[in-house]
Amino acid sequence: MVKEVPRLLPTDEARELLELARELADKELAPRVDDYERRGEFPREVIRTLGQAGLLGLPYPAAFGGGEQPYEVYLQVLEILASRWLAVAEAVSVHTLACYPLATFGSPAQQEELLPAMLSGELLGAYCLSEPAGGSDAAALTTRAVRDGDAYRVTGTKAWITHAGVADFYNIFCRTGGPGARGISCLLADADTPGIVPQARERTMGLRSSPVAQIAFDDARVPAERLIGEEGGGFRIAMQALDSGRLGIAACAVGLAQAALDYATAYARQREQFGRPVIEFQGIGFLLADAATQIAAARALTLAAARLRDAGRPFSLEAAQAKLFATDVAMRVTTDAVQVLGGAGYVEDHPVERWMREAKVLQIVEGTNQIQRLVISRGLARE
């Protein structure tokens, strides 16, 4: 059982929402995670259950079926889910990211037609930005969309796509114009569009219940009415979406680290050496003390950035800081949790070995931590 941390929440509704998230996490996620991760099976029904409970559209307008919750509340829900099953929390974060272009830049007609099914979880989304030859350099993407009458013909390959093969819709960032950021547009395509071909799943170190793969676009025809925003506006959409998505990953990292700390602490209390619990030895106790402090700092940094977003203030630099710090903390804490358990931490009987493997990917997705440092340093250079 993950220990509940003290929280300052803006409303009673938010408190009830977090209680619901905890209940679902304990009843629907925790009992299934080991089996699904072992088999590498995507838990679509679990995601659907979260959608039915209203957890897949929390930061979006109530008029379209969303929860209309502040981002600081949504992120704490993600943290709770991640503390029980990171792949599910990541799925919620990725789906929320995939809803962002339509919810923020879509036309009223597009939103009315598609957003309710997306926010309810009836339709699961994916976000297609990275490519085999370009992940960090998103402005250099080569997937091309050529206008052909009332449609775009899309050709190219996207890489590292979470939900590849299980998503119902894909945000495709593609080149409709010349080189650079200004030539990029965003299309929203149905997954069953002829010519959209998910490739074999990657064999990942962690998050084995979360499918990741390349997607080939072989002259796929996407209706022109599915252009989100204006031609040439896709890079701006992508970057704004990633600012929010980075906060989602930061929250996932906090939840994962908290789970590892709680498990290692419980183990250190009951494990005895030299006639006393090992937590009483400074080598272990101080390690856990540092972990608790770093997690609290990561949580505070993440929620501070979220509150800036909720207030309508710039938060790109703060989102990069939160993602960088929280995911580095998760990697450090999960590694230390394995060390606290010693040999027991290296076997699958205890979840800390899985959490350590899972933490690594959080330093890579939604922009590597090297890219976060670049974002932060450029922000400092402009001050």
Number of H helices, E strands in the chain: 11, 10
Is residue 77 a contact partner of residue 21, using CB atoms and an 8 Å limit? yes
Partner residues linked to 221 by β-bridges:
153
Helical residues (DSSP H) of 188-281, grouped into ranges: 234-270
Neighbour-count burial for 107-136, b at 16+ CB within 10 Å, e otherwise: eeebbeebbbebbbbebbbbbbbbbeeebe
Question: Can 112 be counted among the known catalytic residues?
Answer: no
Please tell me the distance from the alpha carbon of residue 104 to that of residue 120, in angstroms, as a whole number: 17
CA angle 207-211-212, nearest 5°?
95
Is residue 126 a contact partner of residue 98, using CB atoms and an 8 Å limit? yes
What H or E segment, with its residue span, contains residue 24? helix 12-24
Concatenating the DSSP letter of every residue in 70-128 gives -HHHHHHHHHHHHHH-HHHHHHHHHHHHHHHHHHHHS-HHHHHHHHHHHHTTSS-EEEE
- Selected catalytic residue, list 13, 28, 366, 383: 366
Radius of gyration of the chain, Cα coordinates, nearest whole angstrom: 21
What H or E segment, with its residue span, contains residue 291? helix 282-310
Please tell me the distance from the alpha carbon of residue 183 to that of residue 29, in angstroms, as a whole number: 42
Catalytically active residues are 366
